[in-house]
Chain A
Amino acid sequence: MSAPTQKNSPAFFAVIVLLVIMSVGPVILMFVNSFKLDVDIISGTSGLIFMPTIQNYETALCDVLWYEPEPLDFCALKFGGAFKNSLIIALISTALTLVIGSMAAYALVRFRFMGRDTVSATTLMVRMVPPAVLLVPVFGLWNNEFCLDRDGLIGGAIRDMFGGRGDVCLAGTHTGIIVIYVAMNLPFVIWILQSFIVQVPRSLEEAARVDGAGPFQVFFKVVLPLIKPGLAAAAIFTFRIAWNEYLLASALSDRNTKTVPILIVNNMSEFNVEWGVIMATGMLLAIPPIIFTLFASRQIITGMTAGAVKG
C-alpha cells in the first residue's frame, strides 16, 4: 500500500525484531524462570546457563500428581483444584454468556418491541462499569441477600445433599461467580454480536419461516450457524475475562471455589516470595490464553475491530 519503491531497510527490520522481543520477551523470561530453582533465579549467574528443573511445577501441581514430589514437606498450593475451578467457571460462564447474549442481540437487531431502546442504551452504559465498582454490592448481596434459608424447602434440600453450614448463599459457590461473570460479559457480547447478526440475510430466515419453523428454530438452526465467526470472537473475549478475573472471584469464592488468579496472588504473600513456583503457576495460568492467541488470532482481531470500529 505504501510506495512500492520504498525498500524495507535493515533499520526497519531491526525495529520489528525489537518489537517482537519486547512483546514476547517477558513471557519467554517467565517460561525460562519457571524451570529454575530459586537459588538460580536470585544468584547473579547469567540467564541461560542453568540446570532446568520441573520442581516448581511439581510443587504447584502437588495435589494432582500421582506421586509424591521429593523435596516437599506438605502440599500447600493445591493448584490442581484451583485449575479445575477456573475451568468450570470460565467454560460454563462463557457458554451461558454466548447463548443468552446471542439471543438478546438477535432480539435487538430483528424485532421492534417496547423497551428496545431502553435495553439497548442500558447495555451500552453498563459496559463501562469496572469490576471494582461491583465489589461492594456484589459482596453484600451474594453473602447476605441472595440466600436460601437453610430451614426452607430448597435450602434444606441443598444442605442435606451437599453438606455445609449456615444458609445457602450464592457466595462461595461456582454458581455465584458464574452469575456475575455472565452479567459482566453480556453487554460486550450483545454489542459485538449485533454487528454480525445484521449481516445475516433476512431472506434465509424468511425461507425457514415459510417452511414452518418457529422463531427459536429459525434462530438456532439458521442464524447461529451463520454467525460462527462472531461467536468464536465473542467466546474468546468472554473466556479471557472469566479466566483472568481476580477481584470479584476473590471476594466471592471460599476455600473450595478458589480460582487460579486468587491462588497466584495469595501465593505472593509476604513470607513466600518463591519466584520459581510463582512463575510456574503464572505460566500454567497463561497457557490457555497463549494457545488461543496462537490458533485463533484471526478471530481475536475480528472481535476487536467489530467491538470498537463498528461500534
Chain B
Amino acid sequence: MLSKLKTTALASLLMTGTAMANPYADYEGTTLVVNFPAHPHYNAVMQILPEFTKETGIEVEVDQLPYLKMRERQTLELGQDEGEYDLIAYVVFSKADYVYADQLENLAKYFMNPKLSDPAYDSDDLIDGYVYNIGFAGGNKGYLEGKTGSLFGIPYGSETSVLGYRKDIFEKHGLDVPETYDDLLELACQIPELEPGMGGVASRAASGHHASHAFLLHLAPLGGRIFDDAWNPTMNSAEGVAAAEALKKIVDCGPEGATNFGFGEALGAFLSGDTAMFLDTTVVSGQTLDPKRAAPEVLGNVGWALHPMGTRRGSQTGGFGIGIPANAENKEAAFLLMQWLTSKQGDKLVALAGGNPSRFSTHEDAEVNAKFPHMATFGEALKHADPDWRPIIPVWGKINADLGTTLSKVLTEDLDIQEALDGVAERTRAVMEEAGYYTWQ
C-alpha cells in the first residue's frame, strides 16, 4: 500500500514536470465508471485496461453485465439527470433508442478538440461498415450511412458471421466446405447420417431474440429484408419463407435439444463436438483454441470460412460500440479512454488478448495473424458485412420479440411458415403504424 502511494506520488511529480507532453495529465487520478457487457471481447478488454491505467493514471471501474441486463440498466441510468456511467458499450440496436432520446454525446466536439484528439488516431483505418452500422445515426433510413448522419459512437468488438467447421470430420468424409446455401443445407442434413449422433450446424433457436437472430442471419444472404424502402414489412416474402425454412432445416438436422438453444448452448454444442459446423459470430474463435472450453477432438481442429452465399453475400454486422452518455460526469476523460481503446495500439492489444479488432490494419497485422491464423478470413468476411441486415429503429425490440416467439413456435409446434410470417408482418405493420412510420404515405 505504502509503496503504491509512493509510486503514485512519484508518478504525479513526474507528470507535473512533463505536463505539456502528457495529454492525460489533467485527468490523472480520475475514476471512470464504465458499463461493459459480459462478452468474450470485453473479457479481453478487461485484460488490457490495467495497461491504460498504467499509461495514463486514469482509473477504470467496470460494471460488467449480461447484455440484455446491460440494456435495462442503461435505460435507467441514461434517463436520469446525472448518470453513474462515464462510458458505455451498447449493442447495435440500442443506438436507435439512445440517439433518438438524445442520450449519447455527439463525438464531433471531442474530435475537434486539439487537447483531446490524438492526431495519430487514423479514423480511415476503422472498418467502414461498422462505423456506419454502430456509430452513425441520422443518415439514410435514419440509421444508415448518409450525408445527413453524424457520429455518436465507435465500434468496439465488431462481429460478423462466419462458418466454423470441423476440419477432421470434413477430411474424413472428403467433404467440401460449403460455398452456397444449397451446399450448406444439404451438408447440414448429411452430417447426421455420416456421423451418427452428430448434428449438422449448431444454431441458436430459443424463443425470442435467439430465434429471431438466427432467422435474420439467413435472411440477408437469401436476399430478403425486414422492411422495404417505404417501411412495409417484407419478412413474409418468398425470401423470408426460404430463410425460415433454412432455419428449420438446420435445427431439425442439428444436435439434440437444438430448439431450445441460446447462443451459449449452440456454442457449447460445437465446442463439445456435438456438431460439425457452427454458423454465427466471429467472437467464438478464441474459445475453440481454449483447452478449458473446447473438447480435445475439437481443439485446434476448427477451420473458418465465409458465411455461405445465397443470392448474395450478406453476413451479419453486430457487436458493440462504445459511446459517452450525455449525462456522464467525466466526459473528456471518457473520450480519452475511448480513443485509447480504439486506437491502433489498443485495437491490437485487445486482438492479441482474444478480442475482435475493428481496424483494417489489425486484421492484417503480422503478429496478430501469427497468433490467430483465422484473422485474415475474418477480415475478408468483414468486407461482406451487411449493415442493413436488420433494422435499427426504436420499435425494433418489440418486433424482434414477436418474430422470435413466432419462429420458435414454427420450430417446435410445426406452424405453417407462410402463415406464421404473415401474422408477424401484420402485427409489425400495426406497430409501425402506431410509431408513425406511415405518416408520409
Contacts and interface: CB of A to CB of B under 8 A. Distances in A.
Given A76-B46, A165-B329, A272 B264 contact: yes
Nearest to B69: A266
B65 interface: yes
A74 B84 contact: no
Contacts, number: 67
In which size bucket is the chain A interface?
A: 20 to 34
B102 interface: no
Contacts of B38: 76, 266-267, 269, 271-272
Contacts of A74: 43, 46-47
A273 B291 CA distance: 15
Contacts of A255: 63, 84
B69 to A, nearest CB: 6
A102 to B, nearest CB: 36
Contacts of B84: 164-166, 254-255
A38 to B, nearest CB: 6
A150 B82 CA distance: 11
User: Which of A39, A74, A267: most chain B CB closer than 10 A?
Assistant: A74
B15 interface: no
A42 B47 contact: no
B292 interface: yes
B80 interface: yes
Contact of B82 (A39, A166, A267, A272): A166
A205 B72 CA distance: 54
Contact of B295 (A42, A71, A165, A166): A42
A271 B272 CA distance: 15
Interface in A26-61: 37-39, 42-43
B64 interface: yes
Contacts of B83: 165-166
A271 to B, nearest CB: 6
B215 interface: no
A38 B294 CA distance: 9
Interface string A56-96: 00000000000000010110100000000000000000000
Nearest to A266: B66
B66 A76 contact: no
A270 B263 contact: yes
Interface in B76-114: 76, 80-84
A210 to B, nearest CB: 58
Contacts of B262: 270
Interface of B: 38-40, 43, 46-47, 63-67, 69, 73, 76, 80-84, 262-265, 267-268, 272, 283, 291-293, 295, 329
Interface of A: 37-39, 42-43, 71, 73-74, 76, 143, 150, 164-167, 250, 254-255, 266-267, 269-273
4 closest A-B pairs by beta carbon, nearest first, are: A269-B66, A166-B82, A255-B63, A270-B264
